Structures are given as structure tokens and as C-alpha cells.
């Protein structure tokens, strides 16, 4: 008798049934709602969704709006600086903590602490710290430095860096912990071998440890990047987009359009642009990163 080959579809049936609700949710919520949003971004939807098709009109308006242009520019500055600063500060702190120092637990807790605060609280704290009348500027002036000026939140040219400071303060502790876990995963033997070969510590870090920590860096990168693209609450609490519109970000533009302007179509167009920009970066990268592993 011939043995019947089990149908691939029914292999591991229980596991597949168990995963069904999640698959349905993912399809409906993520894919379904995304398609819905993209479709309605081509309509003249105002407060309520409508089917009146207007083609690319919402996108034309979007890219002609100074508020959106400033938001995109801010996101680029913020994203670039945030990425570099978080990774560098996170890694350096982790490397310093990894020197078998005393009170490591205490210091780690203190540095990680800001991460336990929401962005709203972070934004408010830094709004006060950077307030020219009673924040850093005033404290330094009271110490006798009368001409000292540090007032980023009311200066349209540098306000985004004021937001950046708060974001780095909040986020770098977490990146440090991720990096620290990565460093702890490095085999002690590698350090010993490097020492035997007489390689200086910094060269060991740069040429041996960091390449070995590639998966950890990828994780950190994804965490930071998703934080950057969705930054909204921090800006909302700290500057509310001001002064003027100089610290607007795309996510805030979307919310403002959908609810403040009661213009869903415009909000959907903006969020579709956000999705598109993420996809443009993410898809080739994911292909390189994960596709290669499968074949190699």
C-alpha cells in the first residue's frame, strides 16, 4: 500500500487553528484598515468618510502646505540626530557600565528611569526645564552669568533640538539596557583572546564586539526608528508645534487634519505618505536583512 503524504495545509493543524484569530486580526486591522485609509485619501472626505473621488488633489494640497513641509523637515532632522545620539549614548553608557563597576544596579536603574515616564510627562518636564523664566537659563543667570542665553523652546530656528534633548533623555536609557544585554552575551573568551593578542580595548570594541553585536544593533535601530516616525505626544506636550508651526511633526499633522480641521481626506493623505516613506526604507532593508539569511 502506498502511504498517503499528509497535506501540507493540514500539517500542525491545531497550531494553525490557534493562530487563526491573530491572522484574522492582522489581516483585518493592519491590512484592511491600511487599504481603507489609502482608498479614502483619494476622496473629498471631510468630517465623515465620503466616496467623492478627487484623485490626487489631497496630495497636491499636502505638499503645498508649509505646515507639512516643515513637519517633514523636522522629522528628518529629529530622526537623524535621534538615531545617532541614541545609539552612541546608549552604547557608550552600556560599555561603561560593563566594566564590572560597583553599584551597577543602582546606576542602571537611575539611567533607565526616564523610560518609565510617558512622553507627555517628559514633554512637560522639559518644557519647564527649558523655560527661560525659571528653567536652566534663569538658574545659570542666578549663579552670576547674566548674559547666559539658552532658550530653545521660544526660538523657531532651534526648537526641534529642544524636543530632541527631551527625547534623547527619555529614550537612551532603554537603548543602553538593550546594548548591555548584548555586551553580556559576548563570550568572556573573546575578551581574553583579544588581551592575549595585545589588542587595545577600544579596538576590541570597534572591530570585534560591535560587529558581533549586529543583531542587537538591528533591534535597537528598529526600536528607535519606530519611535521617531510616530513622535507625537512629546511635541504635543512640550511645544504643541510652536512657536508658530516650527516644531510640527507629520504624526501631529495627521491628527490635526483629521480632528482639528475635520478633513479626513487630508489626514489620510498625510498618513499614506508616512506609510509610503516607511515602506520605501523598510522593504529593501528587510529584504536584504532577512531574505539573505534564508538563502545563505
Partner 1 sequence: MRRLKAILAASTVLCATAAAAEGVKLEVTHWWTSGGEAAAVKALADVFGEKSQNEWVDGAIAGGGSTARPVMISRITGGDPMHATQFNHGRQAEELVEAGLMLDLTDVAEAEGWRDTINPVSLLDSCTYEGKVYCVPINIHSWQWMWMSNKAFADAGVAVPANWEEFVASAPALEAAGKVPLVVGQQDWQARGAFSVLLVAIGGTDLWLDIYANKNAEAVRGDAMAKVFEAADTARNLSANSNVGDWNLATAKIINGEAGAQIMGDWAQGEFAVAEKVAGEDYTCLPGLGMNEVIQTGGDAFYFPKHDDPDVTAAQKELASIMFSREAQVAFNLKKGSLPVRGDIDMSTANDCMRKGLDILASGNVLPSSEQAISQDTEQQMRDLFIEFFNDKSLSTADAQERMAQLIEQAD
Tell me how far, at minimum, the Cβ of 269 lies from partner 1, in Å.
13
Tell me how far, at minimum, the Cβ of 159 lies from partner 1, in Å.
10
Using CB under 8 A as the binding rule, whether residue 48 contacts partner 1 is answered as: yes
Give the one residue of 37, 138, 246, 277 binding partner 1; rule: CB under 8 A.
246
Q: Grid cell 500500500 — which residue?
A: 1
* DSSP 8-state symbol, 2: P
Tell me how far, at minimum, the Cβ of 73 lies from partner 1, in Å.
14
Given the complex with partner 1, which of 154 and 285 has the nearer CB atom? 154
Q: Which of the residues 249 through 268 are near partner 1 (CB under 8 A)? A: 256, 259-263, 266
CA dihedral sign, ordered 172, 176, 178, 182? positive
Q: Which of the residues 177 through 236 are near partner 1 (CB under 8 A)? A: none
Q: Grid cell 560587529 — which residue?
A: 211
Using CB under 8 A as the binding rule, whether residue 243 contacts partner 1 is answered as: yes
Given the complex with partner 1, which of 170 and 266 has the nearer CB atom? 266
Given the complex with partner 1, which of 70 and 213 has the nearer CB atom? 70
DSSP per-residue codes, 192-240: HHHHHTT--HHHIIIIIIHHHTHHHHHHHHHHHHHHHHT--HHHHHHTT
Give the one residue of 13, 84, 240, 276 binding partner 1; rule: CB under 8 A.
240
Which residues, at least 6 apart from 179, have a Cβ–Cβ distance to it below 8 Å? 90, 91, 93, 94, 95, 213, 216, 220
Using CB under 8 A as the binding rule, whether residue 66 contacts partner 1 is answered as: yes
Using CB under 8 A as the binding rule, whether residue 118 contacts partner 1 is answered as: no
Using CB under 8 A as the binding rule, whether residue 32 contacts partner 1 is answered as: no
Q: Where does residue 241 fall: left (phi above 0), alpha (psi -120 to 50 degrees), or beta otherwise? A: left
Task: Determine the length of the chain.
Answer: 296
Using CB under 8 A as the binding rule, whether residue 51 contacts partner 1 is answered as: yes
The span from the CA of 38 to the CA of 36, in Å, is: 6
Amino acid at each position: 500500500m502506498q502511504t498517503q503524504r499528509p497535506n501540507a495545509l493540514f500539517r500542525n493543524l491545531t497550531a494553525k487553528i490557534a493562530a487563526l484569530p491573530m491572522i484574522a486580526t492582522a489581516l483585518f486591522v493592519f491590512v484592511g484598515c491600511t487599504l481603507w485609509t489609502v482608498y479614502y485619501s483619494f476622496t473629498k472626505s471631510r468630517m465623515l468618510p465620503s466616496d467623492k473621488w478627487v484623485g490626487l488633489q489631497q496630495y497636491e494640497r499636502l505638499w503645498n502646505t508649509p505646515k507639512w513641509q516643515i513637519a517633514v523637515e523636522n522629522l528628518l532632522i529629529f530622526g537623524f540626530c535621534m538615531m545617532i545620539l541614541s545609539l552612541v549614548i546608549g552604547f557608550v553608557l552600556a560599555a561603561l557600565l560593563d566594566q564590572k563597576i560597583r553599584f551597577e544596579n543602582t546606576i542602571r536603574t537611575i539611567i533607565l528611569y526616564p523610560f518609565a515616564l510617558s512622553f507627555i510627562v517628559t514633554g512637560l518636564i522639559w518644557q519647564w526645564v527649558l523655560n527661560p523664566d525659571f528653567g536652566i537659563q534663569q538658574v545659570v543667570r542666578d549663579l552670576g552669568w547674566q548674559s547666559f542665553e539658552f532658550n530653545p523652546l521660544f526660538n523657531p530656528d532651534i526648537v526641534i533640538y529642544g524636543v530632541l534633548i527631551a527625547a534623547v533623555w527619555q529614550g537612551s536609557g532603554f537603548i543602553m539596557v538593550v546594548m548591555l544585554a548584548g555586551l553580556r552575551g559576548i563570550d568572556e573568551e573573546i575578551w581574553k583572546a583579544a588581551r592575549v593578542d595585545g589588542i587595545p580595548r577600544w579596538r576590541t570594541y570597534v572591530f570585534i564586539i560591535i560587529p558581533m553585536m549586529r543583531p542587537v544593533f538591528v533591534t535597537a535601530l528598529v526600536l528607535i526608528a519606530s519611535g521617531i516616525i510616530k513622535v507625537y505626544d512629546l511635541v504635543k506636550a512640550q511645544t504643541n508645534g510652536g512657536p508658530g508651526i516650527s516644531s510640527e511633526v507629520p504624526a501631529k499633522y495627521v491628527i490635526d487634519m483629521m480632528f482639528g480641521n475635520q478633513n479626513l481626506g487630508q489626514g489620510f493623505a498625510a498618513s499614506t505618505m508616512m506609510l509610503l516613506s516607511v515602506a520605501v526604507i523598510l522593504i529593501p532593508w528587510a529584504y536584504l536583512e532577512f531574505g539573505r539569511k534564508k538563502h545563505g
